[in-house]
Structure 1
Amino acid sequence: MNRFVTSIIGIVISSPIAVIIWPISYFGFDQSVFLSTLWSVLGGVIVFGASSIFMSARFLKKHGLSRKEYQYIKGNVKEAKSKVFRACKALLSIRHIPSLKERIELVRMIRKIYSLTKKEPKRFYQAEQFYFSHLDSTLELAEKYVFLAAQPKKNKELDLSLIETRRTLEKLTKSVEEDLYEVISNDIQELDYEIDVAKQTIKNTKESSLINGSGKWK
């Protein structure tokens, strides 16, 4: 739930109410300027708070989450924000041309999982393996690789470590790909269902046309 958008909507709703309350209080109830202003501000704050609560409840209902579940997900996704940024930065900082395409794809998948779970919090439960394991491993390996590769002098042991790190990152790329497919698995199933329904509809339409057109099967 975007707090900025929620705040803007709350202000848009509460501001006219606050403006209306002032003249009603001042002229209609013969209140002083101070009290009219006080009632106006108080009314605006109450309406703003009520609208925020309403939109929050509506958001949670839409995504099928309790407030406790949403706070848990929100906290984990917020904590992952800096990890996602650092992991993507480190992956794109690696100076190894042969693996560039694969690393770009890994960055794309990491950002996609993050954006999907931020937009639709309930998907977090399908991405727990990513947030609690694969993201941390990717971040640690990528930053370690960048650090070691930047050393002025290298030996055989260091070169072997860099090679092994790249291989491990390749395996993590496959794991993150599986994480992404898990996050969108419900969408894939829904699409398959819609395709089956569409195919059946087309088939029924053709059969109906044949029967109505000739009165017999062709």
Structure 2
Amino acid sequence: MKRNFSHFIASVIAVPAGLVVWLLSSNVLDIHMFLDVVAGIGGFGVSYLPAQRISHNKHLEKLKLTNSEYKYIKEQLAQAKEHTNRLRSSYMNIRSLKDAKMVFDINRIVKTIISSVEDDPRQFYSVQQFFHSNLETAVNTIEKYLYLYKMPGKSKNERIQLHETRLSMLELKRTLQSNLSHMNQSSYQDLNVERDLIKMNATRAKKRQAVLDNKLGKQKINLKRNEKSKVKEKLHRGE
């Protein structure tokens, strides 16, 4: 899955550690060259394993997943990518524009779901049916349909069966769209919350502006009154 840098971080820590152990072994302790190399490898391993484990655990903590959950989702994604490779290779058997559009639309939905789960593995639990059955069913049906569609000399009954299969594929497409919509439901809820916050902030800003305008208006009135009183005082004094 994406954004798991535990192996990279562990390597960054372990490589210098292994080099330091090797240099100490070869220059300070003056051991045999073969043992120096073994000591360097041992230093790398001793540094790499705990560093990788700590980094990986932090990554899991950030994702709010257990290690077993993470491995299971990773396996499901690997299987899903195998299905997408099969789906991509099925383009070679397409013989009509309407079938090309249908397969393209299905492939786009599939890639979107997989990419979203790669970015946020917790999304897997909102589209489990997609990974457990819907994707494999869609790929198997498309492969068989396209293979039989390109065969020559089809009977009337066979053409009817292919037509009915295509209708079922369109239903599969709607099912996959439903999976995607269900996965995005929480994001739309968050979007609604953000939209409500924007409206609330805009309303508060308008109220603050109205209060400020009211204060400025009162200040202007007071200034005018003060100026008039000063003019009256000057006139009274005969200035």
Q: Which residue of 1 aligns with 2:140?
A: 140
Contact 2:138-2:172 at 8 Å conserved across structures: yes
Q: Which residue of 2 aligns with 1:32?
A: 31
CA distance in 1, matches of 2:32, 2:3: 33
CA distance in 1, matches of 2:15, 2:187: 40
Q: Which residue of 1 aligns with 2:237?
A: none
Query: How far apart are 1:134 and its partner, in Å?
Result: 1.3
SS of the equivalent of 1:65 reads: coil
Change (3 A) 1:82 1:134: same
Change (3 A) 1:127 1:86: same
CA distance in 2, matches of 1:118, 1:83: 16
CA distance in 2, matches of 1:33, 1:188: 65
CA distance in 1, matches of 2:141, 2:201: 51
Query: How far apart are 1:85 and its partner, in Å?
Result: 1.8
Q: Which residue of 1 aligns with 2:64?
A: 64
> What is the identity, as a one-letter code, of the residue corresponding to 2:144?
K
CA distance in 2, matches of 1:150, 1:100: 13
CA distance in 2, matches of 1:182, 1:126: 7
CA distance in 2, matches of 1:7, 1:44: 13
CA distance in 1, matches of 2:176, 2:89: 17
Change (3 A) 1:3 1:177: closer
Q: How many pairs does the alignment contain?
A: 215
Query: How far apart are 1:27 and its partner, in Å?
Result: 4.2
Q: Which residue of 1 aligns with 2:84?
A: 84
CA distance in 1, matches of 2:22, 2:144: 62
> What is the identity, as a one-letter code, of the residue corresponding to 2:31?
S
Contact 1:91-1:107 at 8 Å conserved across structures: no
Contact 1:25-1:36 at 8 Å conserved across structures: yes
Q: Which residue of 2 aligns with 1:120?
A: 120
Query: How far apart are 1:22 and its partner, in Å?
Result: 2.5
Query: How far apart are 1:33 and its partner, in Å?
Result: 4.1
CA distance in 1, matches of 2:203, 2:3: 48
Contact 1:92-1:104 at 8 Å conserved across structures: no
Change (3 A) 1:208 1:102: farther
RMSD: 2.3
Change (3 A) 1:41 1:173: same
Equivalences for 1:43-192 in 2 at 5 Å?
A: 43-90=43-90, 93-192=93-192
Change (3 A) 1:3 1:36: farther
1:42-82 CA distance string (max 9 Å, x none): 11111111221112111211111111212222222222221
TM-score normalised over the length of structure 2 = 0.81
CA distance in 2, matches of 1:92, 1:70: 35
TM-score normalised over the length of structure 1 = 0.88
Give me the identity figure in percent.
25
- More displaced, 132-141 or 80-89? 80-89
- More displaced, 86-95 or 149-158? 86-95
1:150-201 CA distance string (max 9 Å, x none): 2121111111112111111111111101101112222111111111111111
CA distance in 2, matches of 1:6, 1:22: 24
* Structure 1 residues without counterparts, runs of 5 or longer: none
- More displaced, 65-74 or 171-180? 65-74
* Structure 2 residues without counterparts, runs of 5 or longer: 217-239
SS of the equivalent of 1:95 reads: coil
> What is the identity, as a one-letter code, of the residue corresponding to 2:77?
V
CA distance in 2, matches of 1:213, 1:92: 69
